[in-house]
Structure 1
Amino acid sequence: MATCPKGHESETLDYCDTCGSLMTGAPTAPAAPAPVTATPSSSPAVLCPVCSTPKTGRFCEEDGYDFLLAPPVTPSAPPSSTSSPSPVVAPVVAPVAAWHVVVRADSTYFEVIKAMGGEDAGTLAFPRFVAERRFELAGQQMVVGRRSRSRGVTPDIDLVGPPEDPGVSHLHALLVPHEGGWAVVDLDSANGTYVNDPSANPIDPNVPVPLRDGSVIYLGAWTALTISSP
């Protein structure tokens, strides 16, 4: 038997079974473990809405989906069942009034481009005739460029020739609804996009620039797009 500090004999070695005093040399209770702090998780990966592949760049590696343009994806129909599913109601987006754009060749802009110089400036020639083309602006976006079968590019406003403006990129610009009207976004094109003043600096890529009735978008070597409201 052991003796506690107060002189009592105790059969237990941790606390005296007579007075409850801590026995001399008794082990102390282990310290409580430190609380575990949760490590914040990283931001969730952006997935392709078509195939759910994680985003690694502008285009999906599996199906070529363009994360920048982000065209809407129609979900596949659910499998049929004995009970009729509840109808899915799509959000209603207020339509923008029917603005339109007229595409033409602008000789004044062409001379500005030639004066800027560049390795291809001497080979440029203003076309003898370019028929004006008119496009209605509708939907959530209108891609401006030149179609390419090999790249799978089919712009809404297709500026393919003849005559072919060599300065227009396949994916050159984007027209999007903006505050009751429209805005233009340069898609990091090779030769830039200008609004109203072709002698000024090109607009910044991937930044919407509001347009008004009569605004003119210059791109390529001679192409001008005049925006008109209803």
Structure 2
Amino acid sequence: MASCPRGHESGTLDYCDVCGTLMGGAAAPPAAAPAVPPPASAEPATATPPAAPPDVRTCPVCGTPQPGRFCEEDGYDFLLAPPVNPPSAPPADAPASPPAGPAAQRWTVAVHPDPAYFEVVKAMGGEDAAAMAFPRFAAERRFVLTGEQMVIGRRSQSRGINPDIDLVGPPEDPGVSHLHALLVARQDGWAVVDLDSANGTFLNDPSSNPIDPNVQVPIKGGDKIYLGAWTVLTVHAS
């Protein structure tokens, strides 16, 4: 029998079977390799919508490129909303330049009933023309054109409609739609857009055809916008 370094008689030659000490001349077992942590799982890639070209407007709600007036994903109305991608501001040290377009002038519209237009509407023989009566008195109202656009119509609490140029009255023109028309600021002035109203929007000549809906028609100082049964908006640019 072999003796371990501590003097015990051991029946085994690698480790003492009494105290477990390594026997003299036995090779030490190799050290265990350090455990390698498993690689961290990669984060799943999230799909991103394709980027739109820089000159294409995108929906501010979902980021979808604009295909037309309404967003195909959430129905956002680009016509009734300010531009989604406004031009970038000039550098702080850029020299100041004089305002151009509508900012260089003060644009207003004067709203009042027009008896001659009322007679034209009655002559057209609409469904309710015979029952309508021209208002005996209606004070002129003036609205200053500001911002990117101004909606013309009649407010409705139940539908949440609050037009910028509110023609609810009194007297109230029954031929004006709640969302009738839109005045849009342009680089060279303003334009009027009919919002597919029930009775149409006429420019300067109420006996002619109404303007096409959802199309910008440029206006200038002195132009008259006819809508409803007797309402006319006279454009002033000073």
Partner of 1:218: 226
Partner of 2:206: 198
Secondary structure in 1 matching 2:77:
coil
Whose Rg is larger?
2
Post-superposition offset of 1:68: 2.9
1:96–1:181: 8 Å Cα contact kept in structure 2?
A: no
Partner of 2:108: 100
Partner of 2:140: 132
Partner of 1:207: 215
TM-score when normalising by structure 2: 0.63
Cα distance in 2 for partners of 1:118, 1:158 equals: 24
Post-superposition offset of 1:64: 7.3
Q: Does residue 153 of the first structure (1) align with residue 161 of the second (2)?
A: yes
| Further displaced range: 143-152 or 54-63 | 54-63
Query: Are the structure 2 counterparts of residues 153 and 60 from structure 1 closer, same or farther at C-alpha, using a change threshold of 3 Å?
Result: farther
* Structure 2 residue ranges without an equivalent (≥5): 1-49, 91-98
Cα distance in 1 for partners of 2:210, 2:237 equals: 23
Query: Are the structure 2 counterparts of residues 181 and 113 from structure 1 closer, same or farther at C-alpha, using a change threshold of 3 Å?
Result: same
Query: Are the structure 2 counterparts of residues 153 and 54 from structure 1 closer, same or farther at C-alpha, using a change threshold of 3 Å?
Result: farther
Query: Are the structure 2 counterparts of residues 72 and 208 from structure 1 closer, same or farther at C-alpha, using a change threshold of 3 Å?
Result: closer
1:185–1:206: 8 Å Cα contact kept in structure 2?
A: yes
1:100–1:229: 8 Å Cα contact kept in structure 2?
A: yes
1:96–1:138: 8 Å Cα contact kept in structure 2?
A: no
Partner of 2:179: 171
1:168–1:191: 8 Å Cα contact kept in structure 2?
A: yes
Out of 65, 73, 81, the position equivalent to 1:70 is: 81
* Structure 1 residue ranges without an equivalent (≥5): 1-41, 74-88
TM-score when normalising by structure 1: 0.65
Secondary structure in 2 matching 1:175:
strand
- The alignment of Structure 1 onto Structure 2 pairs a total of residues equal to 175
| RMSD after superposition | 3.2
Partner of 1:110: 118
Aligned identity (percent) is: 70
Post-superposition offset of 1:177: 1.9
